[in-house]
Amino acid sequence: MKQKAYAAAGVDIDLGNRVKATLPQLLASTHRREVLGKVGGFGGLFALDTKKYRQPVLVSSADGVGTKLKIAFAMDRHDTIGQDLVNHCVNDIAVLGAEPLFFLDYLGTGKLEPHVFTEILKGFAKACAENNCALIGGETAQMPGFYQPGEYDVSGTIVGVVEKARMLNGQKTVKAGDVVLGIASSGLHTNGYSLARKIFFEQLKLKPTSRVAELGNTIGDELLKVHVSYGPLVQRLLKRFHKPGAAVTGPLPIKALAHITGGGFIDNIPRVLPAKCDVVIRKGSWEMLPIFQMLAAKGGVPEGELYQVFNMGVGMVIIVAADKADSVLKAIQAEKHAAWVIGGVVKGTGKSRVE
């Protein structure tokens, strides 16, 4: 049978259709009752249950996973990338107190490789199911000549919802004397990979498959560790300490959250601070993962910059009222997340510093 002209030019529509035919089974685990229609329409449909909220506010975010993809290409391992993307997006809206509703993905590649597509989608589906988030649509683009052979790019958009009166707004609630808690990351998450790749692969001459004694792992596997989702944890904390359904009569104990992504402690925490407060993070107040110890010891990067590029082992920061700090910390640890008191709020000008 003669090859179709478009397939000969590098875009195989029939292959794309065959691969996408597996989507219903892959996405079944992410279904929520509010989802209408099937994946594959021109638009995903989600009927928000407005009866659950007095004043629902939709919260959205879009992101990618950066050059962590280069590690996936080198290891030919693609099952974690989808999880990274979903979890990153979930965390970005969790800082406002929002629960995720639905997720849309974009995958662009030069040549569609069925096994790679399936692995990535399995990652999306796994993370969406774990976060009770419906995967209701997306786009797969075949663009020959646009990407290097074997490479692709992914991005995602998430939409969540929060009750307006219960939306976390640190700029109105944070004050001097509040306590800063840090929740452990699994590693680099999805930030700082351009610098990490330069240090590990250019300066230290390692390969992705190199086993590193300090890590007890290959550097490639260590760098592919899945970005932790804090979304379910945050929802459980808010239910416990903010008692949904009760009238909001005064300051709530959990004041603000900051997802420690690109920009580290220095650039992310100020996003939730009032203009008259600073946060002081105390170095050495948490157990730093070996990969960050290695970056600090062998990377030749000024210490101050490390805390602006990497999460250094803390993936989410929570600012809490001082009288509730111990209770919130114990609740986080009871949920099997390592967490520590890592700093405090002082009078200042809306900045974050590490001392």
**Given pLDDT bands bounded at 50, 70 and 90, which one contains residue 16?**
low
Measured torsion, CA atoms of residues 156, 159, 164, 165, in degrees rounded to the nearest 10 = -70
Read off the pLDDT of each residue in 188-195 and give the average, rounded to a whole number: 96
**Given pLDDT bands bounded at 50, 70 and 90, which one contains residue 41?**
confident
Q: Give which of 25, 256, 228, 224 is closest to 131, Cα–Cα.
A: 228
Measured torsion, CA atoms of residues 295, 297, 302, 308, in degrees rounded to the nearest 10 = 30
pLDDT, residue 43, reads 86
Taking only Cα atoms into account, the Rg of the chain, rounded to an integer number of angstroms, comes to: 22
Contact 92, 133 (CB under 8 A): no
Contact 232, 240 (CB under 8 A): no
Strands 314-320 vs 45-46: parallel, antiparallel or unpaired: unpaired
Question: What single letter denotes the amino acid at residue 111?
Answer: K
Q: Model pTM?
A: 0.93
Read off the pLDDT of each residue in 183-197 and give the average, rounded to a whole number: 96
Average pLDDT of the chain, as a whole number: 91
**Given pLDDT bands bounded at 50, 70 and 90, which one contains residue 21?**
low
Would you say residue 230 has pLDDT above 70? yes
Contact 15, 142 (CB under 8 A): no
Give residue for tokens 């004694």. Answer: 213
Percent of the chain past pLDDT 70, that is, above it, reads: 92
- Phi, psi angles (nearest 5°) of residue 347: -65, 145
Read off the pLDDT of each residue in 258-267 and give the average, rounded to a whole number: 95
Domains of the chain: 5-166 (3.30.1330.10), 170-354 (3.90.650.10)
Would you say residue 88 has pLDDT above 70? yes
pLDDT tens digit string along 152-162?
Answer: 999 999 999 99
**Given pLDDT bands bounded at 50, 70 and 90, which one contains residue 243?**
confident
Q: Give which of 350, 266, 272 is closest to 305, Cα–Cα.
A: 266
